Structures are given as structure tokens and as C-alpha cells.
Amino acid sequence: MIAFIEGKLIECQLNLAVIQTGGIGYEIHVPLTTSEKLPALGESVRLHMQATYREDSQTLYGFIDRESRDFFRMIVDKVSGIGPKIALNLLGSLSLPTLKNSIAHGDVAMLSKAQGLGKKTAERIVVELKDKVLPKGTTTASASESAPSSISIDNESSLSQDLGIYGDAVSALLTLGYKATDADQAVRKAADVLGKDCTTEELIRKALGRWAAVRRM
């Protein structure tokens, strides 16, 4: 089993990266949420790996963090009818915190907006994974009620520890008419910029400001 590949980034496309290490170039399928965080060509990068093997092929899937890789494994292994392609599209359409928030709260509408995912498949994901995305001893209701007013945001992994705030910010943008993927991306970028102890209100304001700047370009 390949745990990770670390080497020089040789090629980067929307959903594909080539990493050279030990004189070998590895072609790796990646979600959009990983490809947008890759460094410049020629620089070193580490991707956490999942490989699938068939009689006639071997396919590598890479993720910028271990938690995303583990979530990919869980979807493919636990949800019937979900293969690597759909799972990769799901992780590329919505960030991990938004995915976990949507599954934990049964937000089928949000999940259905991911590329290639229909309502029935989204419902199946909720049924199969709802209890698995929450910390042990936590119920959906208690997760919503106990969400604090601020969150320490060092990276996407820390965001996923608090499902409420990130989801509230995305929901606020959806209410204003943003598409699900655009709202999620704007909040994700805002979280990267704000850093520690970010409140929901600050996250929303930053996301709105960033999106307005993008639209003016």
C-alpha cells in the first residue's frame, strides 16, 4: 500500500498531477480542492495516496491532506454505488468541512449540487455516513447546539472539527443566491486568509469581499 508520494511537481491539470520521484513520474488523479493548493511546477509536494487495482489498470488518487484521503476511502468503501470517480468529484465540488456538515445534518440538497451526484445517491450517502462523520459520543442535535461562536482555523483539518460555523457561513452565501460550489470555495479561501479565532460573521464578510473582488476581475 502506498501511503504517500513526495517529489517534484512536473505537471498539474484540473484533476491530474504528475509527481517525479526516484526517476519515476507518477500520474495521480486529484480533486479540485487539492489541485488548487498544489505548489508551482518544479517545487516539492507530498500527496496522501489511495490506489485502486483492476486486471487491466492501476489508478492513483492523491490528496493534499490525510483526512481528505481517509474520507475518500470511507465513501468508496461504505456507500454502495459510489466509485472513485464520483467520490473524487464530490471532494472536488465541496470542501471537507462542508461535506461533513451536510452529511451530519442530512442536507441532501447541498450534496446533490456536487458534480455527478443525484438526489438518491446523496440520500444514500447521508444514511450510510451520518453517524461516521461526527465525533464519538456526539449526536447531530448536540453538534448544532454546541457550536461555539468562534473557531480556530489553522487549516482545513481544524475546520472540520467544528461543523457548525463553516456550514453557517456557506449557508449564508447560499441564501444570498450564490451557487453551492462558489459559496464553498469563497468560504474556504476566506478561512485560509483569516487564520485563528475566526467568527462566523468575519468568515462571511471576508468571503463576500473576496467574491466581489473576483467578479470585478
* Mean pLDDT computed over 17-33: 94
- The C-alpha cell 461543523 sits at 163
Q: Which fold has domain 68-212?
A: DNA polymerase; domain 1 (1.10.150)
Q: What is the pTM of this model?
A: 0.70
3.40.50.1240, 3.40.1190.20, 2.40.50.140, 3.40.50.300: CATH of 4-64? 2.40.50.140
Spacing of C-alpha 33 from chain mean position: 6
Residue 155 has pLDDT above 50, yes or no: no
Whole-angstrom Cα distance, residue 217 to residue 209?
13
Please tell me which residue, 168 or 120, carries the higher pLDDT value. Answer: 120
Higher pLDDT, 25 or 132: 25
Give yes or no for residue 164 having a pLDDT over 50.
yes
Backbone angles phi, psi at 137, to 5 degrees: 85, 5
- Kindly give, in sequence order, each residue whose CB lies less than 8 Å from that of residue 156, ignoring residues fewer than 6 positions away: 65, 67, 68, 95, 96, 97, 188, 191
DSSP secondary structure of 117-132: --HHHHHHHHHHHTTT
pLDDT, tens digit (0-9, with 9 covering 90-100), for 176-186: 777 777 777 78
Per-residue pLDDT band for 167 (boundaries 50, 70, 90) equals confident
Q: Long-range contacts made by residues 50-56, C-beta under 8 angstroms, separation at least 24?
A: 50/84, 51/1, 51/2, 52/84
Q: What is the pLDDT of residue 162?
A: 53
d(CA 41, CA 78): 35
Listed by start position, the domains of the chain span 4-64, 68-212
**Looking at residue 92, what is its pLDDT?**
87
Higher pLDDT, 205 or 26: 26
Specify the amino acid at residue 96: L
For residue range 48-92, what is the model confidence (pLDDT) as tens digits? 999 988 888 889 999 999 999 999 999 999 998 889 999 998 998
Mean of per-residue pLDDT scores for the chain: 80
Q: Provide the pLDDT for residue 42.
A: 94
Q: Which residue has the higher pLDDT, 139 or 44?
A: 44
Q: How confident is the model at residue 152 (pLDDT cuts 50, 70, 90)?
A: very low
95: nearest Cα among 187, 4, 178, 30: 187
| Predicted local confidence at residue 133, as pLDDT | 83
